[in-house]
Structure 1
Amino acid sequence: MPVISDPARFNEEELYVDLRTTIGLPVYLKCEGFNFAGSIKLKAATEMVDAAEREGLLRPGSILIESSSGNLGVALSMIAAHRGHRFLCVTDARCNQPTIRLMEALGSQVHVVREPDPRSGLLGARLKYVRALCASDDRYVWLDQHSNQGNWRAHYRTTAPAIAHHFPRLDVLFVGAGTTGTLMGCARWFWQWRRRVRIVAVDSVGSVSFGGAPGRRLIPGLGTSVPPPLLDPSYVDDVVRVEEKDAVQVCRRLAARGFLFGGSTGTVISGASQWLERHGRRGLTAVAIAPDLGERYLDTVYREGWPPDAVRAEPVPELVHLGR
């Protein structure tokens, strides 16, 4: 029986959903949303805050500041509340209202950026705001999840070895690409330990992470309008780009079977389905990482008619091959 005094020290690491029995997909879904922050971002947040405290960057009077589309902001809000730090989350208009209210309930301040940067979109505008505040006041401590090495090291230490422990004959791993912390941590671990595992990154259509033209994206979490500094494409075997309408359809199919997952998880599962349709399903042991749960998406992903221009159509896979 776990007994804790720090909410960051609990995380369910061993829960998987067999998608064969729910939507007929031969994939084991690693569920990362069962902790007090509600998402996989708790791992990176804990790693980065621990390092900042250890290195003396966080001192009495410091103010944590971070750009986040939502889930990392919640994780940092929880950690800051427990450890007595002040925290300002800089997000944008795509962040779900329940997520904003949750951060505020934990005592954090939230600044919502509504005007995108002409060249780098909403993410670029968020980062510009953070840099300006840090330059104006040395009390601000920016963890910078987009370039902080603790982001990927958290998953190198925890997520990847946990998967390998339960699936020693793993063939393919599907990982969503946002900051690419989870992707890089897992890819590096399997590469270093000589595991013959195919790493498939799942990105959103409209993201520039792996090249291509930027486009509108409404589901927060995956994809980016600025190339992620942590990304090293040499560790990635394939990339699948997913339309948001397809991610929404997957979420609703799972909800119809009693599993309520977030938009990022729907994107990853849709990408896994497309990749397996192209490469064949038989004889492969496949795992996909589910970053979050669905309660924070009730007003978006699970609201009828959202996104407003969605059309019902069969998903068309778009793959980019990257040699290791």
Structure 2
Amino acid sequence: MPVISTPYAFNESQLYVDLKSIFGRSLYLKCEGFNFAGSIKLKAAIEMVESAERDGLLKPDSVLVESSSGNLGVALSTIAASKGYRFLCVTDSRCNLSTRLLMEALGSEVHIIADLDANGGFLGARIEYVRALCASDDRYVWLSQYTNPGNWRAHYRKTAPEIAHEFPGLEVLFIGAGTTGTLMGCARYFRDWHHPVRIVAVDSVGSVSFGGEPGRRMIPGLGMSMRPPLLDESYVDEVVKVEEADTIRACHRLARHGFLFGGSTGTVVSGAMQWLAQNEPRDLTAVAIAPDLGERYLDTIYQINWLQDLYGDDILDFDEVSAGSRRVEPRRRTSGRRPKP
């Protein structure tokens, strides 16, 4: 029986769901939402906070500040409450109401940005707001998940080895691309592994992470309105971009079978199923990472009025392809020295 004294000491990350009975194709979904922060972001949050502590950046009167669309904000709220730090999360109007309330319940302060940046997103505006806060008071400590190597290092040290242990014959790994911390940590680890693993990044249509035109994105989690500073495309074999309508259909299809997952998971599953439909010559050993669960999306992707207002009355027509990317883009790896974790 595990007994813990800090909330971040528990993280059940060795649970997988076999999706073949739901989607008709073999795919093992690694569930990362079973911890007190409710998402995979707890791993990166711990790594970044403890690294800042080792480097002497955090002092008793420090105020952690971070830009987050939700999950990292909750993870940092959990850690800050446990360690006695103040935490201020800078988010935007797309952040789910339940996520904001959860951060506040944990004692954090939440600032909501309403102004769009030059790419039609909120990220640039959020970052400028954080920079202004840090310039105004030296007690603010910005971990900067977008540039902090601890973001990817957490997954090099934990997430990828967990997958390798359970699936020694792994052939393809599907990873959602947001800040690309999970993507880069896992991709770097499997580049060093004893046999090749195809790395497929899953992104949202409207994101500019891998190029393309910016567009409206209403579901927080994956995608960026700027190129992720952590991204090194030489580690990525292919990119799948998924329409938000297909994300929603994948989420509801999973829910119809009793699995309530978040929007990021719906995107990854949708992209993975499309890739497998196009590329599966046989039963591959394939794993996808599910970043979170679905309770925080009850007022958005699981709320019919919200869906119909944004996507139309036919959004949940399950006769349509429920897992659909619009394009799969190959990426040619280049050689070079790997950063050390």
Answer whether TM exceeds 0.5 for this pair.
yes
Asked if the contact 1:26–1:281 (Cα under 8 Å) also holds between the matched residues in 2, the reply is no
Partner in structure 2 of residue 264 of structure 1: 264
Letter in structure 2 aligned against 1:322? R
Letter in structure 2 aligned against 1:87? F
TM-aligned CA deviation for residue 109 of structure 1: 0.1
Partner in structure 2 of residue 319 of structure 1: 328
In structure 2, the gaps of 5 or more residues are: 334-341
CA deviations 1:102-151 (Å, max 9, x no partner) are 00000000000011123462000000000111111111000000000000
TM-aligned CA deviation for residue 316 of structure 1: 4.9
List structure 1 runs of 4+ shifted beyond 6 angstroms: none
Partner in structure 2 of residue 309 of structure 1: 311
CA deviations 1:267-286 (Å, max 9, x no partner) are 00000001011102523100
With the length of structure 2 as denominator, give the TM-score of the two structures. 0.93
In structure 1, the gaps of 5 or more residues are: none
Residue 132 (1) aligns with residue 120 (2) = no
**In structure 2, distance between residues paired with 1:146 and 1:47:** 14
SS of structure 2 residue aligned to 1:52: helix
**In structure 1, distance between residues paired with 2:90 and 2:226:** 16
SS of structure 2 residue aligned to 1:73: helix
Residue 255 (1) aligns with residue 274 (2) = no
Partner in structure 1 of residue 164 of structure 2: 164
Q: 1:301 to 1:161 in 2, by over 3 A?
A: same
Asked if the contact 2:65–2:142 (Cα under 8 Å) also holds between the matched residues in 1, the reply is yes
Residue 179 (1) aligns with residue 185 (2) = no
Q: How do residues 133-148 of structure 1 correspond to structure 2 at under 5 angstroms?
A: 133-148=133-148
SS of structure 1 residue aligned to 2:64: strand
Asked if the contact 2:243–2:326 (Cα under 8 Å) also holds between the matched residues in 1, the reply is no
SS of structure 2 residue aligned to 1:302: coil
190-199 vs 111-120, which moves further: 111-120
**In structure 1, distance between residues paired with 2:62 and 2:46:** 17
47-56 vs 119-128, which moves further: 119-128
**In structure 2, distance between residues paired with 1:89 and 1:72:** 9
TM-aligned CA deviation for residue 22 of structure 1: 2.7
Q: How do residues 62-101 of structure 1 correspond to structure 2 at under 5 angstroms?
A: 62-101=62-101
104-113 vs 116-125, which moves further: 116-125
Partner in structure 2 of residue 211 of structure 1: 211
Letter in structure 2 aligned against 1:302? Y
**In structure 2, distance between residues paired with 1:180 and 1:281:** 29
With the length of structure 1 as denominator, give the TM-score of the two structures. 0.98
**In structure 2, distance between residues paired with 1:27 and 1:89:** 35
RMSD after superposition: 1.1
Asked if the contact 2:265–2:290 (Cα under 8 Å) also holds between the matched residues in 1, the reply is yes
Letter in structure 2 aligned against 1:321? P
Q: 1:306 to 1:23 in 2, by over 3 A?
A: farther
**In structure 1, distance between residues paired with 2:283 and 2:22:** 19
TM-aligned CA deviation for residue 242 of structure 1: 0.2
**In structure 2, distance between residues paired with 1:244 and 1:167:** 30
**In structure 2, distance between residues paired with 1:117 and 1:304:** 29
Q: What is the aligned length?
A: 324
